[in-house]
Each structure stands twice: as structure tokens, then as C-alpha cells.
A and B are shown apart, each in its own frame.
Chain A
Amino acid sequence: MQGLSPSARLRIEELSARYPRKRSALIPSLQIAQEEAGYISEEIMVEIARMMELSPNEVREVVSFYSLLHQKPVGRYVIQVCTNISCQLCDAEGILRHLRRRLGIGPGETTPDMKYTLLEVECLGSCGTSPVMQINDEYHENLTPEKIDCILDGLQ
């Protein structure tokens, strides 16, 4: 298992020096770590906890709270499907069912070729255009199964 690279450590140290309490830099530090490895391993959590003067579980609380932070390796495309109330009313279940069938994986799983990870998430804040999913940093709105096929076909 790899720890943080020296340059990531340096960036995190610089960040946390900007705050009266080091822990204030926790979320950006986790983003730096994830940029590097694609996810945040337990080893990295322990390392960051030490740097921020936190217990490892406090770091894990934050990592597990945010759906944008991953505890396991993820695919090149992380697909987050909203199944919260507004999307639910617009058949988010059907959207999810379609994705399951098309990708052959369930929420929380990654395809063997490491291309896709499927996640079920809470409200993405775009209820007006539900149902909604997010692929990496981009929103895809007013989804239908056809539209999804079209989007996925366009991904390398």
C-alpha cells in the first residue's frame, strides 16, 4: 500500500498551515489525496489523521459522509444516480434499473474493466430537472433510458 507522495504531503501541510486549527484543511486534503490515488485508503486516512491531529475514525467519518470521496478504487467514470424524493417521483428507480442492466453491476460496484462505478446518492440539488445523475463532475438531467444509452455510448 502506498502512502501520500511527498508533493501531496507538502501541499497538505501548506494548506493546513493556513488555518488556526489544522483540521480545517481536512476536506481539501482528502481531495488532494484522492486526486493522486483515485480513492482514499485506510492507510491514507491514518496518515492524514496524524497530520491534522485527529483520530483516524474522525477522518473516516468525513470520507464516508461525502459521496464524492471514495474508500475503494473506483472506475474511470463514477456514475452517481440520485434516488432522493424528487427524482424518485420521476422514476429514478427505472433509471437505476436501466443502468444496472446496461452495466451489469449494482450500486456500490465497479465493472471488472474498471471503467464504471455505479453509486446511489441523495439529492444532487437539481430537483427541477429530475431524474438526475452525475458522471464524474458533470450533471446529466431529465434522464430517460434512451438518453442514458446515448450518454454512455459517447464515453471512451
Chain B
Amino acid sequence: MPESVSLTIDGQEIRAPKGTMVLEAARTAGILIPHYCYHPGLPVVGSCRMCLVEIEKVPKLQPSCATPVAEGMVVRTTTPQALENRRSVLEFLLANHPLDCPVCDQAGECGLQDYYMEHGRYDARHDEDKTRRKKAVPLGPHIMLDQERCILCTRCVRFTRDITRTGELGVLSRGHRSVIDVFPGTTLDNPYSGNVADLCPVGALTDRDFRFQCRVWFLGSVPSICPGCSRGCNIEIHYNRRFDPRYHDRRVHRLKPRPNPEVNGFWICDEGRYAYRTIDAADRLKIPALRRGDGLREASWAEAIGEAAGALRGVLGGNGPGAAAVMVSPQMSNEELFLARRLFRDRLGIDRIAGRAPAAAGASGDDFLIRADKNPNTRGMDLLFPDAGDCRDLVESCAGGRIRYLHIFRHDLSRWYDPGRLAEALREVDCVVFEGSWDSPTARLADVVLPAAVYAEKEGTFVNFQGRVQRFYPAVPPPGAALTDLDILARLAAALEAGAAGSTAAGLFGEIAAHVPEFAPLTWQSLGPTGRWLANPGNDHAV
């Protein structure tokens, strides 16, 4: 524990670790000091002067973002002098700022708008024309630059220099001619480029993907976990609260990073950020389907579950549990995995269970956030199914005619198994059930297709590669007739008369904690917004 000091901010007694800046100490006490250039994830430059506060015994206002706390310090953030400074800073920033808020994506979450309403509110004193600069310049695949809107806080520049170390952006010229730009002939194209749109306090850097899609005040926000790789970056899902299928073609509009110092800091990668498109993708499975002859035909849940349960019951009765097999997936939540384990393994006695599959071609990681394992819950699957076999071996067993019932969760086997041989292998199985969210060659080879919700449509937990157990929440309902895997498994269990109790995620998590020692110290409530470590997470903690 670093030494701590006590100080007073706006009359509140505050203790803060030595070295903390006044701005951060104030934030922990719920006092938000306006700021532009300061960002907790970037080096401090103290250049915008928005955060100036009064400190007793110091003659001039001090930048709270660059002033460390000291014992006995008395800070006042709302004195007439401090407020006047904010007005003046805003007046200078707005002197050349275009008033294109009506067509600016940032409107509604803009540092200039918000602080002007709080602190500015002056009558304009400028008759001069505003300076004109480049607008709507695509900087790279994801980012659009508007130089007129920029307030030169340099957050974006520091991000590319200190976080990604790619150095694409710079401040060119000086004085009122200064602009942000890339070097001629180059682009802002690195695996984390989307973060600069989040960082930019104004509408100077916006996300090309989100451009003109939805006004931000129509967006709802739900905390979640990115399912794109085993890092499990903390995110927010932003969805259209007024979604109407007659006018809108997607419910989820964007993903934003949610700070978690243990996992992703303040950032997410572009691959994860733009993967939100899969949520409302055209190839989502929405209606259960049954094989009739050569094709799949839409069916009701009762028919689909009835067919799967009937086939499974027949195989278990006729051939014994050895002829039934299950492919669980590291895409499933801990709760889903646990429910599958209870139903298939504990109740029905099936022990042919596979889980691990070969990585998709080209899957790679880096030394920052991106992991080569593109599954969010490999660690959870390994804990809940320590004996799970290799999926390839199971396909071989199918080809060898040893399997009569196969229940596939989520895997698209054609990604790593020759599609022609796969079709032959699955033809050997009397009943193939595919439970997943997207259409795929595997789904099309199944006899029963059960459409399942994606992470944004349900709640649950994943364990990331470091051993952090993290919770995600539902933002939107499953599309069409799709159900969560927990609901589907509960229905299947009921049809098999194999007991369906305890199928809420919260209840199942409690059972996991009771049965799996690594989860023992955890409770559903204790996970909080940023998760908790497993009992023995291993020594892999570093971000």
C-alpha cells in the first residue's frame, strides 16, 4: 500500500495515496473537475487549462490534473476565480469551433457542449469569421477527422505515441493554425484505432461506422464482456432504445470500452469493437428447424425439442449413453456449461463430451490486448469440463459410426474439418442437434436446429485467460423465436424428465461455486461490474 495523505477538497476530508493527482482524488470523492487534455489512461500534459483549481497558500490557480496531493492541502474547485477560468477557456476554444452540432455525431456526449451548458453560458463576443480547416477527412478505415472541431487536447496523439506506439497522429503548425493530421500518404490504421474516437472529447474524431447512424441520446447502455477473444475486455453495449424494425435495421449500434485496470485498461481492439455487427446479422438463426427429407423446415419449439428429446431418449434406451455425444463450446457461459454438464453428464450419464477445437485459420494475438484464442471462456470450459475431449476426435468417432446422437453447441465444424468429409461423418449419426446463433454449414447438416441467443441477449459469466470471472448483462431480447441456451436446456431437460430446476444464471452460478473449488469464494453479487479472480488464477495476471 503506498503512503496516503489527507487533504480537503471543497470542504470534504479526503484520503488519497501519495502521488495521486488532485483531479483523481476529487473524482474518488464524487467531485468532477472539468478537464479536456487529462485522461487517466494517458501521460499527463496539463495543456488545456480547463481543470484549474484554487489551492490555499498558492497564489495562482493550479492544474488539478498535474498537481499531486499533499498533506493538509486545501483545494477549492468552484471559487469565482476557478469558474471564471473555465468560462474563459471555453470562450477561447469556441472562438473557432464550428457550430455544426446538429450534424455532429458527438452531440449529446460532447465535452464542449456539456461544459458550456455547465460553465460557459456567455454571450459571444466574436465578430470575426471562424477559421476554416479540413472537414470529413477519412484518416483510416475507422476514423473520420474534422479539424475545425478539434480543441487540440492531444489525447489522440498521445494514444498513438504512448499506447499503440504507432505514432500516426501529430499536431502540425502552431498557434491558431495548429491542426491534427497524419503524415502525408499514411493512414491511421492500427488494430486499436477505434479508441481515438472514444478519447476525443469533441466531435473531431468520430467513428466512420457509427457516423449518422443514431443520435446518442436514443442509445441505451448495458455493461458486457467482449466475446471476441480470451482477454474478455470490459465493454458497454449501446443499443437503440427506440428500435423499430420498420425503420431500423439494427438494434445494437456500437460497443465501447469500459475501464477495467485488471483486464483491458481503457481500451478495446477494433476487431472486437466492430464485431457488434454479428449481433443483428442477417444470418442469425431465429426459428427452430427440423430436417424433412433433404431440407430443413421451420418448426415450433415444442416440435423441435420433442424431436431432439425423442431421438436422445431412443439412443440412450436402445444403445446406451456411449452412443450419445455432446460438443460443448468455449463460447458458452459458465452457467450454460454447468447446466449442460448437469443434464448430459450427471443426469443422462453421457461421457463422450468434447470441447476444444482447432483455432480458426489466421487467428493471432499481440503483446497488448488481443489473444490468439478467439473464445471468451476457454478457461471456464476447462474448469467445468476438465475431461472434455478434442472435437476433431469426436467427428472421427461419428465417421466411424459409433455415435447415434450428437448435440453440437455453437461450433461450426466446417471451419476446421473438410466440409465433404464432415457431411459424410454427420450422415452416420441418426440425430444431429445444432444449438447456436448463426447459420453455418454445420447448422445446415443438422437434423434439429435450435436458435440460441448471443451474449448481448442474455446474462452469464466468462472466465478470461487470466482467471478473472466477469459478468455480462442482456441489452436486447433474442431475435424471432430464439431462446437463451439456459432456456433451451431447461426445455430439453423437462422433455426428458431429467429435472429442470435452477436454470437462472444467478442460481446456476451459486451451484458452480458450490461444486467447483476454483469458484468457491465467489458469489453472483460479489462479481460486481469488473469481475473477480478465481481462487487460484495462476500467475498470469499482467494486462
Contact = CB atoms under 8 A, between A and B. Distances in A.
Contacts of A61: 170-172
Interface stretch (B183-191, B237-245, B286-294): B183-191
Contacts of A60: 170, 172, 183
Nearest to B166: A55
B246 interface: no
A90 to B, nearest CB: 20
A136 interface: no
B485 interface: no
B174 A57 contact: no
Contacts of A55: 161, 166-168, 170, 183
Contacts of A45: 183
B167 A57 contact: yes
A102 to B, nearest CB: 25
B182 interface: yes
B173 A56 contact: no
A56 B160 CA distance: 13
A58 B183 CA distance: 9
A58 B174 contact: no
A58 B175 contact: no
Interface string A63-98: 011000000000000000000000000000000000
Interface in A105-152: 122
A42 interface: yes
Given A42-B184, A42-B185, A57 B175 contact: no
A61 B161 CA distance: 13
Contacts of B182: 57
A65 B170 CA distance: 11
A65 B174 CA distance: 5
A68 to B, nearest CB: 13
Nearest to A66: B174
B169 interface: yes
A42 B172 CA distance: 14
A58 B170 contact: yes
A122 B167 CA distance: 28
A65 B183 contact: no
Nearest to A65: B174
Interface residues of A, number: 13
A104 to B, nearest CB: 24
Contacts of A46: 183
A72 B167 CA distance: 23
A52 to B, nearest CB: 12
B183 A57 contact: yes
A57 B185 contact: no
Name the residue among B166, B167, B185 with the largest chain A CB count within 10 angstroms: B167
Interface string A27-63: 0000000000000001001100000001111101100
Nearest to A57: B170
A122 B466 CA distance: 55
B168 to A, nearest CB: 7
Given A42-B184, A42-B185, A57-B182, A122 B168 contact: no
Nearest to B168: A57
A58 B172 CA distance: 9
B132 to A, nearest CB: 15
B183 A56 contact: yes
Interface string B152-168: 00000000010000111
A57 B169 contact: yes
Contacts of A58: 167, 170
Interface in B180-239: 181-186
A64 B185 contact: no
Contacts of B166: 55
A122 B169 contact: no
B450 to A, nearest CB: 52
A56 B171 contact: no
Contacts of B170: 55, 57-58, 60-61
A70 to B, nearest CB: 13
Contacts of A57: 167-170, 172, 181-183
A57 B185 CA distance: 11
A65 to B, nearest CB: 5
Contacts of B183: 42, 45-46, 55-57, 60
Name the residue among B167, B174, B183, B185 with the largest chain A CB count within 10 angstroms: B183
A60 B174 CA distance: 12
A122 B161 CA distance: 29
Contacts of A64: 172-174
A59 to B, nearest CB: 9
Name the residue among A45, A54, A61, A122 with the largest chain B CB count within 10 angstroms: A61
Contacts of B173: 64-65
Contacts of B167: 54-55, 57-58
A25 B173 CA distance: 20
A45 B170 CA distance: 14
Nearest to A54: B167
A122 B172 contact: no
A57 B166 CA distance: 11
B528 to A, nearest CB: 40
Nearest to B186: A56
A64 B181 CA distance: 12
Contacts of A54: 167
A65 B179 CA distance: 11
The 4 closest A-B pairs by CB, nearest first: A55-B167, A57-B170, A56-B183, A64-B172
Given A55-B161, A57-B170, 16 more contacts: A42-B183, A42-B184, A45-B183, A46-B183, A55-B167, A55-B170, A55-B183, A57-B182, A57-B183, A58-B167, A60-B170, A60-B172, A61-B171, A64-B173, A65-B174, A122-B175
Interface of B: 161, 166-175, 181-186
7 contacts: A46-B183, A55-B161, A56-B186, A57-B169, A58-B167, A60-B183, A61-B172
